[in-house]
Structure 1
Amino acid sequence: MAVTVSLVVLFGIALFFLLRSKELGYGAALTAAAFGFFLASTGAAHPINELTESLIEAATNL
């Protein structure tokens, strides 16, 4: 759960700067979608949380 909260903050900050700089490409759309899933905690949030945790774990093992 702590990872989810920090990712919501991270995606929120990234989305803020993407919208402020008017960078509305695919990266902004992906960031906005990820932010929405983490923030709303819908049924799709659990698989996304698992994927993110796996990616974080893989990154720490590099």
Structure 2
Amino acid sequence: MIVSLSSVLLLGALLALMLRNRHLGPGGATIAALFGFCLASTGAAPTINDALQSLADSLSRIG
């Protein structure tokens, strides 16, 4: 858990830096995919899935 949490923080910081500098090429896409993969293995995954599901349900009711 400690390794995945530190990798999530590192990849998240790199991704935020790339987004801020508007430098998102193939390397940025790789970092974004790795960030998502690492984030999915943390304890935050169920909370994120629930939030995205509620957002999708709300949007489907609007449209």
TM interval, shorter chain, is 0.5 to 0.7
Structure 2 letter corresponding to 1:28: G
Choose 1 or 2 for highest CA Rg: 2
Superposition TM-score, scaled by structure 1 size: 0.63
Q: Is 1:13 the equivalent of 2:13?
A: yes
SS of equivalent to 2:3? helix
Q: How many residues are matched?
A: 41
Percentage identity across aligned positions? 51
Higher RCO, Cα 8 Å, sep 6+ = 2
SS of equivalent to 2:22? coil
In the alignment, structure 2 segments of 5+ residues that lack a partner are 42-63
Residue 30 of structure 1: aligned partner: 30
